Amino acid sequence: QINKMKTIQETRKSLPVYQYREDLLSSIRQHQVLIVVGETGSGKTTQLPQFLVEDGYTNDGKCVVCTQPRRVAATSVAARVADEMDVFLGKEVGYNIRFDDRTTPDRTILKYMTDGMLLREFLNDPQLSSYSAIMIDEAHERTLSTDILLGLLRGILQERKDLRLIISSATMNATKFSKFFFNCPIFNVPGRRFPVDIHYTLQPEGNYLNAAITTVFQIHTTQRLPGDILVFLTGQEEIESMQTKLVEILSKLDGTKFSDLMVVPIYANLPQEHQAKIFEPTPKNCRKVVLATNIAETSLTINGIKYVIDPGFVKEQSYSGGISKLVTVPCSRASVDQRAGRAGRLGPGKCFRLFTKWSYFNELEKVPKPEILRTKLNQVVLLLLSLGINDLLHFPMLDKPKTTQLSEALDNLYAIGALNSKGTITKVGQVMCDFPCEPEYAKVIYSSVFEENCKGVLSQIVTIISMLQESNSIFIPGLNREEKTKLFGSMMQSSDHMLYLWIYEQWEENGFSQKWCRDFKLQHKTMKRVLSIRQQLWKYCVKLHFISKDNQSSSNALENTSPAMLEAKIIKCFISGFPTNVARLSNQGYTNIKHGLSVTVHPSSVIFTRLKNEGKPMKFILYQSLMLTSKEFIRDCITFDKY
Ligand code: ADP
Ligand code: MG
């Protein structure tokens, strides 16, 4: 233990920011806002907040907070810092991410939070008076929440003269932040960086996953150890599929000829206990291959990487013409440069780009497009309005969204009853603000209590919504339709929503047991998260008096309701929250009722085979998400005939 602490302290001192500790602290004392720019891995995220604590910023009972765009980063960094400070995670050092608050009021002095969670704190405390210093980390990522946070923080600096604001960013947009904050100083932390050899493909790659696999084996068989490989992929599915393929090939290879290859994935939804694996030192005579989303671009530093394989794609939210969807797009030049930099931390490295040099110079955008310009603004518009910021057009922002985006958000909020025709927040709208989920879901919950024709299904609705939050990691990876049909029988003839409800209720009846999950090929860890989400949503329902004391047990009101009636009510609730996520059957298949976009049911959906086999398919589908890959796929669907 003593040795471990010693190594940790030595590691701390070896980080580039350590040399600048005094300079940084004195700049922070002198300037209310400071931009800090430094190479990934230089110690910004783990060290700067500790410096502030050491410098006394938490002596008067206030906290230091550091925001992260990603949940994984917030949790893993908090764990690391708790270790470094030799305290328990959740006590002096904690994290707070949506549905998972690991802090102790009155005891926690250093918090890592997602940017979205800090944003929500403005609702309860518009001056953020419990904080003495706020570090907005990874600001260059320009998430929607970070941008709004920066705008709001800029507004409270005058009244909170004691507050210190540190904005950490990659070089790409430091001056933009400085300008936004009245030309505040930029502090550069020079990092250690070794040269990285960049290799391009001569031809565009048709299938970058296969190309990446080939490259992994080329590196593994020709390059000496040590030297781990980092592959950037777009999401969980891609990572899982590449992991399966790599493991399959490895099992067929003559093991005596090569040293070991160890494959470790990292993505946002990966359960926490698996995340730690990427930080473990690679065993001798072994090479680690990390399959990562762009989490590994700047948020997480993985030691030991010498080779980077970069297909050059990223999955991002896109929003145009009122349609919100996930799309895979080419990265920006700034992003692929960051990715290449990951190979040059240990010593000279190599980066294999699976695209052409021509494409790098002629096709890639310079910097990523900020999220605020490519996403639905419903939730933030509601938040700003509820903070009394009515003049949205003049709210200070690094990049202003288009007026059409704003008016669409207002329209949407009006459609779900959050605003009245004058654009003021309604009572329902206020409730939507309070709920820790998107306003659309809050409306679904609200309808299940108050709306005629809907009410009486609160318990079921809260269950389904909790399941939907985690829907992409409920089943064990790779579970196919045939197996699902064997396991879930006639439920596979219903819909995703009803299957989720059935699964949860069965699990509950079986004492939330791990064995039951194993038998039904469900991820117990995910289900436990669902349970915790459900409990938290339920707490809000109690707080807002949606449940009267004598009506705590869920289905009292519905004793005489048939399953068909129940489903009809559930559908009505979801329509009330997602009136535009509905597709209608036409000669061309299903098309969205508002935009006319034709959509295809994703094969992972329960309704996929049903639609194929049924003589008379249902007229309408309500879906929760739209993802563009080869087609416009809809997922998490429920069907109905009357609208
Ligand atoms: P920056 O924010 O400047 O990119 P960090 O503060 O995140 O840098 O990381 C500094 C160092 O701490 C890195 O070398 C990284 O490998 C190490 N580190 C961070 N988190 C962990 C962890 N969970 N386990 C082990 N080492 C870690
Ligand atoms: Mg960092």
Residue 2 Cα to ligand 1 middle (Å): 21
pLDDT higher than threshold 70 for residue 553: no
Which ligand has the nearest atom to the CA of 338?
Answer: 1
Report the candidate in 541, 568, 580 with the shortest Cα–Cα distance to residue 638.
Answer: 568
Contacts of residue 330, defined as CB under 8 A and 6 or more positions apart, other chains included, come to 312, 313, 314, 355, 359, 363, 364, 365
Separation of CA 300 and ligand 2 centre (Å): 7
Average the pLDDT over 134-144 and give the result.
95
Residue 491 DSSP one-character state: G
Model pLDDT for residues 263-299, shown as the tens digit of each residue: 999 988 787 677 778 888 899 889 999 999 998 888 8
Q: In percent, how much of the chain has pLDDT > 90?
A: 73
Query: Minimum-distance ligand to the CA of 80?
Result: 1
User: What is the pLDDT at residue 144?
Assistant: 96
User: Which among 462, 497, 521, 473 has a CA at the least distance from the CA of 606?
Assistant: 497
Ligand 1 centroid to Cα of residue 43, in Å, is 6
The confidence score (pLDDT) of residue 104 equals 97
Instruction: Return the residue whose CA atom lies nearest to atom 15 of ligand 1.
Output: 301
Tell me what pLDDT residue 160 has.
97
Please compute the mean of the pLDDT values over residues 115-140 and round it to a whole number: 96
Q: pLDDT at position 54, please?
A: 97
User: Would you state the pLDDT for residue 465?
Assistant: 97
Confidence of residue 100 (pLDDT cuts 50, 70, 90): very high
Contacts of residue 438, Cβ cutoff 8 Å, sequence gap at least 6: 378, 379
In ligand 1, which atom is closest to the CA atom of 302? 16
The pLDDT assigned to 551 comes to 53
pLDDT at 473: 85
Ligand 1: which residue has its CA nearest to atom 10? Answer: 43
Atom number in ligand 1 closest to CA 299? 4
pLDDT grade for 171, boundaries at 50, 70 and 90: confident
Contacts with 177 (C-beta within 8 Å, 6 or more apart), sequence order: 35, 139, 150, 167, 169, 398
The CA 541 to ligand 1 mean position distance, Å, reads: 39
* Averaged pLDDT of the chain: 91
Burial (CB count within 10 angstroms: exposed 0-12, middle 13-18, buried 19+), residue 217 = middle
User: Ligand 1 atom closest to Cα of 76?
Assistant: 23
For the CA of 47, the closest atom of ligand 1 is: 6
Q: How many CA atoms lie within 13 A of 249 on its CB side?
A: 15
Q: State percent of the chain over pLDDT 70.
A: 97
Residue 114 CA to ligand 2 center (angstroms) comes to: 13
Using 50, 70 and 90 to split pLDDT, how confident is the model at 177?
very high
User: How far is residue 596's CA from residue 248's CA, in Å, rounded to a whole number?
Assistant: 43
Between the CA of 67 and the centroid of ligand 2 the distance, in Å, is 10
Gap from CA of 46 to ligand 1 centroid (Å): 6
pLDDT at 206: 86
CA of 372 from ligand 2 middle (Å) equals: 22
Range from 50-54, 538-542, 625-629 that averages highest in pLDDT: 50-54
Q: Which range (171-175, 330-334, 348-352, 512-516) has the least confidence?
A: 171-175
Over residues 563-582, the mean pLDDT reads 95
Query: Which ligand ends up closest to the CA of 39?
Result: 1
Q: Is 489 left (phi over 0), alpha (psi -120 to 50) or beta?
A: left
Per-residue model confidence as pLDDT tens digits over 577-628? 999 999 999 888 999 998 889 999 999 899 998 887 777 888 999 999 998 7
Residue of the CA atom closest to atom 5 of ligand 1: 43
- If phi > 0 it is left, if psi is from -120 to 50 it is alpha, else beta; for residue 233 that is beta
359-393 pLDDT, tens digit per residue, is 999 999 999 999 999 999 999 999 999 999 999 99
CA of 301 to the centre of ligand 2 (A): 8
Lowest-pLDDT range, 142-146, 517-521, 550-554? 550-554
Q: What local confidence, expressed as pLDDT, does residue 372 receive?
A: 95
CA of 16, closest atom in ligand 1: 3
Q: Could you tell which of 9, 10, 80, 85 is best to mutate to test the pocket of ligand 1, judged by most ligand atoms within 8 Å of the CB?
A: 80
- On the question of pLDDT at 554 being above 60, the answer is no
Q: Are 462 and 533 contacting, i.e. CB atoms less than 8 angstroms apart?
A: no
Nearest-atom index, ligand 1, CA of 77: 20
Compute the distance from residue 170 Cα to the ligand 2 centre, in Å. Answer: 10
Nearest CA residue ID for atom 22, ligand 1: 80
Question: Which ligand is nearest the CA of 279, by number?
Answer: 1
Taking Cα atoms as reference points, which of 510, 507, 498 lies closest to residue 525? Answer: 507
Ligand closest to 272 (CA) is 1
Around ligand 1, the residues with Cβ closer than 6 Å are 15, 38, 40-47, 76-77, 80, 279, 301, 303
Q: Any idea which ligand is nearest the CA of 48? A: 1
Is residue 517 packed enough to be buried (19+ CB in 10 Å), middle (13-18) or exposed (0-12)?
buried
- Confidence class for position 555, pLDDT limits 50, 70, 90: very low
- Amino acid, single-letter form, for residue 354: L
Q: What angle do CA 550, 551, 557 make, to 5 degrees?
A: 135
**465, 480 contact by CB (below 8 A):** no
* Res 480 pLDDT > 80: yes
Pocket test for ligand 1, best of 301, 345, 346 (most atoms within 8 A of CB): 301
pLDDT band at 558 (very low <50, low <70, confident <90, very high): low
The band of 207, judged by pLDDT with boundaries at 50, 70 and 90, is very high
Report which secondary-structure segment, H or E, holds 292.
Answer: strand 286-292
| Position 550 confidence tier, pLDDT thresholds 50, 70, 90 | very low
Predicted local confidence at residue 276, as pLDDT? 79
Residue 246 has pLDDT above 80, yes or no: yes
pTM for the complete prediction? 0.90
Distance in angstroms (rounded) separating the CA atoms of residues 469 and 16: 39
